[in-house]
Amino acid sequence: MTTIRKWQVGESLPEVTLAPVSRLDLIKYAGASGDYNPIHTIDEEAKKAGLPGIIAHGMWTMGNLAKLFTPYYEEGFVQDYFVRFQSMVFLNDVITLKATVKEKDEKAIRFAVAAVNQHGKEVIKGEAVFSLYE
């Protein structure tokens, strides 16, 4: 079993690459979140708003970042998490999720986290604190 405790400052968790963003992903997220802003699901409405097409909900991308920590939930939990939205995510974008250890002690690990599109552009960056069970 891989343990999150083994990672040292400067090391990165295995990256997670998501399937290309689909319209169905965004429709499902709209229903789950209650965010029915049509710029996320209807091309014509997105274009009326000055966008080239529909964009993913920022929180859809942010929520997916938590997948980096899924293999480690037996050892602890995400205690604190914040991000800045850097760029928009469009249909068919392929997003890669990344986390690098910034600080570590016996109780918690602080990670720099990022979501990067297929062009290498950061769409989200931030930090997550993973608290370890004693």
Domain residue limits at 68: 11-20+57-132
Q: pLDDT for 121-130, tens place per residue?
A: 999 999 999 9
pTM, to two decimals: 0.93
Q: pLDDT for 57-72, tens place per residue?
A: 999 999 999 999 999 9
Segment 36-52 mean pLDDT: 95
Q: What integer pLDDT is reported at residue 54 of this predicted model?
A: 96
**Could you identify the residue written with the tokens 């000055």?**
50
Classify residue 113: in a domain, yes or no: yes
Closest by alpha carbon to 30, among 55, 67, 66?
55
Classify residue 69: in a domain, yes or no: yes
Per DSSP, the residues of 60-121 read HHHHHHGGGGGGGTTTEEEEEEEEEE-S--BTT---EEEEEEEEE-SSEEEEEEEEE-TTS-
Q: Is 23 helix (H, G, I), strand (E, B) or coil?
A: helix
**Which three-class secondary structure string do you get for 57-70?**
CHHHHHHHHHHHHH
Segment 16-22 mean pLDDT: 98
Q: pLDDT for 93-110, tens place per residue?
A: 999 999 999 999 999 999
Q: What integer pLDDT is reported at residue 1 of this predicted model?
A: 59
Classify residue 6: in a domain, yes or no: no
Contact 99, 122 (CB under 8 A): no
Task: Write out the two tokens for 111.
Answer: 């990670």
CATH code of 84's domain: 3.10.129.10
Helix axes 58-65, 23-33, angle to 10 degrees: 90
Classify residue 125: in a domain, yes or no: yes
Considering its fold, how many domains does the chain have in total?
A: 1
Q: What mean pLDDT, rounded, does the chain reach?
A: 96
Classify residue 46: in a domain, yes or no: no
Classify residue 107: in a domain, yes or no: yes
Classify residue 38: in a domain, yes or no: no
Classify residue 1: in a domain, yes or no: no
